[in-house]
Amino acid sequence: MEEGFLQKSFLLHDDYQTVKKTLDTYLALIPKPYAVLFIDTPDISLITQRLAQRTKVIASHLNADQDTLENETKKWRQLLNIAVAALEQNGVKVCRLEASRPIQENVAFARQFLDNLK
């Protein structure tokens, strides 16, 4: 899969139809993977807490307050969920992992998913 696909900030837009149309056009132009692992959680505070603990800082997060981080996270979650759904519609197999679960559980689930791809 093209590196940086899920970092395409030009896809962030408030209008769902604009995002969907842009994403569909973009996906038509790039090679798609056979499968993806998608780690997510609806717990926005968990995501922002982990972002705050990272040593790598995303430029848009510099000096951002909690509300800004939460709003940006909500937009990115929406985009990622749209992207994953579009990938699935294009035949890509998706393993959905819940980020709030213990790592060992997610690893076991991902291994089972990957083993079933063989």
CB 22 within 8 A of CB 13: yes
How many helices (H) and strands (E) the chain has is answered by 4, 2
Kindly report the pTM of this predicted structure.
0.78
Q: What is the pLDDT of residues 58-111, one digit of tens each?
A: 766 777 788 888 888 888 888 888 889 989 998 999 999 999 999 999 999 999
Cα 104-54-35 angle, rounded to 5 deg? 50
Distance of CA 80 to the CA centre of its chain: 4
The amino acid at 100: S
3-state secondary structure of 39: strand
Q: Give the number of residues written for the chain.
A: 118
| Dist CA 32 CA 28 (whole Å) | 9
Residue 2: pLDDT over 70: no
For residue 30, the model assigns a pLDDT of 82
| Dist CA 35 CA 45 (whole Å) | 28
